[in-house]
Amino acid sequence: MRITSETLREIAREAVEQRVRADPTILAAYQCGATLGDDFLLGGTLDIDLVFIHIDQVTPVREIVRLTDEVHLDIAHQPQKQYEPPRALRLHAWLGPTIYTCKPLYDQRHTLDFIQASVRGMFNSPQTVLGRARPQAEHARQMWFELNEAKTEAGLDQIRLYLKALEHAANAIALLSGEPLTERRFVLKFKQRAAAIGRPGLAAGLIGLLGGADLQRETLQAWLPLWEQAYHSLPEAPRAISLHAVRKAYYGRALQALMEGEEPRAALWPLLSTWQEMAREMGADSAAGQGWQEVISQLGLSGSDFSQRVEAFDAFLDQVEEALEEWAERSGA
């Protein structure tokens, strides 16, 4: 299958038309995500992100629909009340940028037209940009307090909280110059966003917090079969829909492409974020859990080493908070 931007737009339009004919509760629908740009393939795979706005909440709230081994639909179902009041969405770290850049595909009642117009007003003003970024640093700091006060061994819950805190901290920087970071290109895009505000050293800091300061390409590649084994061990319908069987190639081929690229350590984020979900799904004593324990041990994210990572994260957060203050002063926010 030859994948082009026009092919993706046509697939999205057809999917929306089919759903609208079958479901009268749909008020609007839009396409978002990487497929709106030119750099949508990674490892020859992609997902097409579609969002349907309904009169009320429907279930399931998210669907994964296979099209080919390389392409699938990632469909979200959201109630209209999630978009109220529309002006407030411009301060929402994820939904605001999504609405700002999305491509409407169905909007007969002009529901989305009104929401998008409300979001785009003052969207790029320094005060609004900072209003999206600063809460991310605050969330990260609160999570750091929780990690620092726990004083426990690094179990699945602690690692999950640690990665979530890193995600918030990185997005505090990313949101100053663009949209929030996506999972597969998290490290690569963060490097660009940190450089955009004159803080390129933060990228190396993020790699270090993931345990990758001295990590070699060969080590990462040796972990990939263990990751694949963990994915194969998942039930047909895992609790975490992000681990849907259709998404194995989406993640696996991306990991391989990143490991073979100029910065193989960029694979660390999608590797860890997906693996910790697999370990939570199957349990610490499962094949997925055992492989996970082996990897985080080598990365210095377990045992007494974890407390050192948490301490280093404190210093990283200090730099993030300083960067926000400097940006606010420069921009007059």
Mean pLDDT of all residues in 209-232:
96
- Using an 8 Å Cβ cutoff, are 90 and 128 in contact? yes
Average pLDDT for the chain: 95
Q: Is the pLDDT of residue 237 over 90?
A: no
Q: Dump pLDDT digits (tens) for 65-124.
A: 999 999 999 999 999 999 999 999 999 999 999 999 999 999 999 999 999 999 999 999
Quick one: pLDDT at residue 1? 62
- The predicted pLDDT at position 74 comes to 98
Domains and CATH numbers, the chain: 5-120 (3.30.460.10), 126-319 (no CATH)
> Which tens digits make up the pLDDT trace of 266-297?
999 999 999 999 999 999 889 889 999 999 99
DSSP string, 250-268: HHHHHHHHHHTSS-GGGGH
Tokens of 330: 């420069």
Question: Do 301 and 273 touch, CB atoms closer than 8 A?
Answer: no
H helix runs in the chain, sequence order: 5-22, 95-101, 111-120, 126-150, 156-174, 186-196, 201-209, 217-232, 247-259, 268-282, 287-298, 303-331
24 falls in which pLDDT band (50, 70, 90)? Answer: very high
What is the rounded distance in angstroms from the CA atom of residue 136 to the CA atom of residue 129? Answer: 12
Q: What is the pTM of this model?
A: 0.95
